[in-house]
Chain A
Amino acid sequence: AAGVIQSPRHLIKEKRETATLKCYPIPRHDTVYWYQQGPGQDPQFLISFYEKMQSDKGSIPDRFSAQQFSDYHSELNMSSLELGDSALYFCASSLGLGSYEQYFGPGTRLTVT
């Protein structure tokens, strides 16, 4: 079965650079979520989208933005990168809002040097 696809899988950037992470949800899933997981930490919710509209916002820094496109894929844009942004970034998708199972992608490991 098709799963959530994230690209790139690994990304190395320097401080103050920008990065764009991409997420392709499971086919027919209309909701995507972004999470940040620091080393040894639990995943922290950043932001979610349902039917191309932002549905909820968590601990996403102002330097980050995200959107969901007409084909339901989502991109997380990160600017003015800081060392503390180094983390695993997971995207998850679900069918519909609310209490539905979220299926996670393999994650993008971002390293900021």
Chain B
Amino acid sequence: GESVGLHLPTLSVQEGDNSIINCAYSNSASDYFIWYKQESGKGPQFIIDIRSNMDKRQGQRVTVLLNKTVKHLSLQIAATQPGDSAVYFCAENDNNNDMRFGAGTRLTVKP
């Protein structure tokens, strides 16, 4: 399943499928990006980050893709599990030291 981030705040996928969550950022000077996962009632949890000199970074079951030309960031989750159900935020840092969060996407994993 795939979301368009800011314009589709919910994404529902079947367990075992791959998920793609998209995010558009606004500041071309941003040089560092993070994806956070936020479960209900908890603080944002770091998932994966990427710097602007890279276009792809892989973690365990997650991949972040960065397209600086169109200022687009995506998070791919492989073999999505029920524990992945949460709200996912992308955040950008433009070296002014504060993270600016995009609108979250709620991921629901159906068993």
Contacts and interface: CB of A to CB of B under 8 A. Distances in A.
A58 B101 CA distance: 12
A103 B43 CA distance: 9
- The 10 A-B residue pairs whose C-beta atoms are closest, nearest first, are A104-B43, A99-B32, A42-B101, A45-B98, A56-B97, A104-B44, A56-B98, A43-B101, A90-B43, A107-B43
Contacts of B32: 98-99
B60 interface: no
Given A104-B43, A106-B42, A98 B97 contact: yes
A30 to B, nearest CB: 12
A25 interface: no
26 contacts: A4-B43, A33-B98, A33-B99, A42-B89, A42-B101, A42-B103, A43-B44, A43-B99, A43-B101, A44-B101, A45-B99, A48-B97, A55-B97, A56-B96, A56-B98, A92-B44, A98-B97, A99-B32, A99-B95, A102-B34, A102-B46, A104-B43, A104-B46, A106-B42, A106-B43, A107-B42
A83 interface: no
Nearest to B100: A45
Interface string B39-66: 0001111100101000000000000000
Please classify how large the interface on chain B is, using the bins under 10, 10 to 19, 20 to 34, 35 or more: 20 to 34
A101 interface: yes
A58 B98 contact: yes
Contacts of B100: 45
A31 B96 CA distance: 13
Nearest to A107: B43
A103 B46 contact: yes
Interface of B: 31-32, 34, 36, 42-46, 49, 51, 89, 93, 95-104
Given A99-B32, A104-B44, A43 B89 contact: yes
A78 B12 CA distance: 39
Interface in A44-76: 44-45, 48, 50, 55-56, 58
Contacts of A33: 98-99
